[in-house]
Structure 1
């Protein structure tokens, strides 16, 4: 007859083991991603096309290896689930169109203020801003620019696949869906501290200035990472986070200080406020799992898991 005290104890030990394996696997992925950027020894600045091409090749290789890390974690932690590895990582067909469109529209709503600001400063007004956004020739020129390809394509795809698609399925069984949303961005935020090395190497600023900029970047990337993790968990797709990431990279941080000095600052500030309020109102509605079908990653959390 089994000892009644022995069973629960073994279950707890198994859970702790799974959590340690999970955290170490996430740490390994983060280190591989950042470390791959420094495989190439070079004195060139980070925006030099040659260095960009090398680094893009490195992070693409790490991203291609990330499914193998998730598979190894499933084996080590003895995790079994009725979904394919790619489905767990958010690469699936069910609900693909709404997963690509709705989160992106939600992000654009948040950026209502900056978009209105950009349109106001365009010599041709809102029509000119729209024409610029839809100009095919302009897009073709961008596609040939190494910096644009890195910021708008390679970085969003590889970072979301590694830091959301690979890490969240490993974190969910250990700490649950909601806690995983706030844990995964910490790996993402800390990974961006590598910019300190480059800024120091190129003597771009004082150490206090470098740490200040890096601290702000850590805060921004962590908050943004929590948002894309939320989108991933609510939709079960990685395409939404990728497109949101690409759009945010194109816009940068909202320039509130510039809006305060604008001749039409009242209208601008109103658009900033409306964008934020609409974003909060639509956040759960637009990411309702009913639009996206069954979320495979929730099977890792057991039958009692809910969509945040």
Structure 2
């Protein structure tokens, strides 16, 4: 979540509610009942994160690891993960959500974005040995969406927002390795499947 510190602060600054009202909504059973009755919400925040992380990281990644070192596997698996999102093209074309050129341009951007995100969640899965981290990251990112960078640059409090964006990115890179130290999570079975590598080890 620290990577999205900028978007979260920006959202908080632009939100017409105060944080107390936000907490009231969050703990309101009617809000969650409404969410759970929405099939699109369920698909984006529950079903897709669970099934995709299970298939690509819990199943596919351990199959690739014995054939390659974990490093290449981290960057190979996300390519399949990205291709799996191409079904959005069909959905957008079917409902005519823009021109064909814009739809394919959007798909190319989404392919790149999901590949990077996939590499990150694969890294988290390997480092922790647990699927819950990637699932929660996936669900959270689906909820927040891609950061509104243009909106940040045009924000009335642009300097504050930009500083928080940069701070979030800096903290993300500083904390990524220590906060996912395998020593916190015990034995990581997938590390024993990896082909031997003399270089940098993801598991240490």
TM-score (norm 2): 0.91
Change (3 A) 1:126 1:273: farther
Q: Output one character per residue of 1:61-97: Cα deviation in whole Å (capped at 9) or x when no partner.
A: xxxxxxxxxxxxxxxxxxxxxxxxxxxxxxxxxxxxx
Partner deviation per Cα, 1:191-231 (whole Å, 9 max, x = no partner): 21222233333333322111101001101110110000000
Q: CA–CA distance in 1 between the matches of 2:194 and 2:109?
A: 33
The yes-or-no answer on 1:293 pairing with 2:186 is: yes
SS in 2 for 1:111: helix
Q: 2:76 aligns with which of 177, 183, 196?
A: 183
Is 1:171 aligned to 2:171, yes or no?
no
Structure 2 residue 27 is the aligned partner of structure 1 residue 140? no
Q: CA deviation at 1:293?
A: 0.4
SS in 1 for 2:97: coil
Taking the aligned partners of 1:252 and 1:223, their CA distance within structure 2 comes to: 14
**Cα 1:198–1:124 shift into 2, 3 Å:** closer
Higher relative contact order (CA 8 A, sep 6+): 2
How far is 1:145 from its partner?
1.4
**Residue 133 of structure 2 is aligned to residue 240 of structure 1:** yes
Query: 1:134-283 to 2 correspondence within 5 Å?
Result: 134-283=27-176
- Per-residue deviation at 1:124? 3.2
Q: Distance in 1 between matches of 2:23 and 2:5?
A: 14
Aligned length: 201
- Conserved in 2, the CA contact under 8 Å of 1:189 and 1:222? yes
Indicate the SS of the match to 2:177.
helix
Structure 1 residue 130: Cα displacement: 4.1
Q: Which runs of 5+ in 1 are unaligned?
A: 1-107
State the Cα RMSD in Å. 1.8
- Supply the distance in 1 between the matched residues of 2:166 and 2:21 (Cα, whole angstroms): 24
CA contact 2:69–2:197 (8 Å) conserved in 1: no
Change in CA separation of 1:194 and 1:145 when aligned onto 2, cut-off 3 Å:
closer
Give the TM-score of the pair, scaled to structure 1: 0.62
Q: Distance in 1 between matches of 2:21 and 2:14?
A: 10
SS at match of 1:262: coil
Report the Cα distance in structure 2 between the residues aligned to 1:265 and 1:135, rounded to whole angstroms. Answer: 33
Measured in 1, the distance between the counterparts of 2:130 and 2:119 equals 15
